[in-house]
Amino acid sequence: MDIRQLRYFIAIVEEGKISVAAKRLHMSQPPLSQQLKAMEEELGSILVERSGKFLEVTEAGKSLYLNALQITKLMEETKAEVKEVGEGVNGRLSIGVNTFSVSGLPDTLEQFQKQFPKITYRIQQNESAYLLQLVRDRIVELAIIRMPLDLNDFSILHLCNDPFYFITSKEHTSFDTEVTLDEIKHYPLLIPSTEGLGVHYLILEAFSRSKTHPNMVGECSDISLLMDLVASDFAASIVPETLLKRYRGYPINAYRISSKNELNGSVGLIWLKDHSLSKAAQNFIEMIQKV
């Protein structure tokens, strides 16, 4: 049994006459009779009673009719849905974000939502290096991460360069607006994120470049805890500007780290280079590019 045959049967039931149904289907009457007969043989039961001039739909026929309506409707909906997903109007946008890198994302998402209201989202927060793996494994399509990382097989859309800030509790006001790494090397430092990953690596490398050794207290991957610890003068820290903006008004002092130290990570949107993106993801990239 076939979608086509279901359509035929629907027409027959609704028109009440095979010949009229045939006209509606833009075909001649004999093949319609044949198809009806074929369906009856396949299902092993009479679907319409041909008595005299008018047809009468049997119980089995009524049952088929109702189901046929459902199936054809579902078929139409499916076609429409697949087309929409193909065009990026509908579907699911799977995106990974890094806590340190979400500066303008809410606005962008809101704007995207406005333009493509049917899209649903799956947003995963994680560390940049892990996000890279998620993209590689096709678990997320896009990711906003903090450079530098090994990005050989990825396409990159650079979003922003944000400088790093040295932050301390309110008790320390001994600096201007800018500091060098050398000036802060004695401060007990609690570095965000865990060892071997983006921000962490970036900071240590900058120290290394300036031939200085930080007074490392440890790492903390829980950002709000980190900020609390800094505020309570447990330790100082170094965080990107994006993060600082999110904690505006928090009881800490922030000093921009001198550009001489070349400590600034850039944030980028990445995706797998040699794999086609969903149209939804393409639209998202396009929108971000415009902003």
* Residues lying near DNA in the complex (CB under 7 A): 2, 4, 17-20, 26-31, 33-38, 50-53, 55
Burial 144-174 (b: 16+ CB within 10 A, else e): bbbbebeeeebbeeebeebbbbbbbbeebee
Chosen from DNA, its own copies, none, partner binding at 82 (C-beta under 5 to 8 Å by type) = its own copies
Q: What is the DSSP letter of 139?
A: S
Chosen from its own copies, DNA, none, partner binding at 69 (C-beta under 5 to 8 Å by type) = none
When the beta carbons of 36 and 254 are compared against DNA, the nearer one is 36
When the beta carbons of 77 and 286 are compared against its own copies, the nearer one is 77
Which residue, among 43, 19, 14, 15, has the nearest Cα to 30 in the 3D structure?
A: 19
Tokens, residue 214:
């930080």
Distance CA 242, CA 264 (A): 11
Smallest separation, CB 120 to DNA (Å): 29
When the beta carbons of 3 and 157 are compared against its own copies, the nearer one is 3
Q: Which residue has the tokens 């010949």?
A: 19
Chosen from its own copies, DNA, none, partner binding at 60 (C-beta under 5 to 8 Å by type) = its own copies
Smallest separation, CB 38 to DNA (Å): 6
Range list of β-strands (E), 170-226: 178-179, 188-192, 215-220
Chosen from DNA, its own copies, none, partner binding at 18 (C-beta under 5 to 8 Å by type) = DNA
Distance CA 64, CA 41 (A): 14
Smallest separation, CB 34 to its own copies (Å): 19
Distance CA 242, CA 266 (A): 11
Smallest separation, CB 215 to DNA (Å): 40
Which residue, among 204, 239, 234, has the nearest Cα to 221 in the 3D structure?
A: 239
When the beta carbons of 6 and 147 are compared against its own copies, the nearer one is 6
Distance CA 230, CA 219 (A): 12
The C-alpha angle 181, 182, 184, rounded to 5 degrees, equals: 70
Could you count the other beta carbons within 10 Å of the beta carbon of residue 29? 15
When the beta carbons of 10 and 206 are compared against DNA, the nearer one is 10
Catalog residues that contact its own copies under the rule CB under 8 A: 1-4, 43-47, 49, 51, 56, 58-60, 63-64, 67-68, 70-71, 74-75, 77-79, 81-83, 85-87, 90-92, 138, 274-276, 278-280
When the beta carbons of 49 and 107 are compared against its own copies, the nearer one is 49
Smallest separation, CB 13 to DNA (Å): 12
Smallest separation, CB 139 to DNA (Å): 20
End-to-end CA distance of the chain: 52
Smallest separation, CB 152 to DNA (Å): 15
When the beta carbons of 38 and 287 are compared against DNA, the nearer one is 38
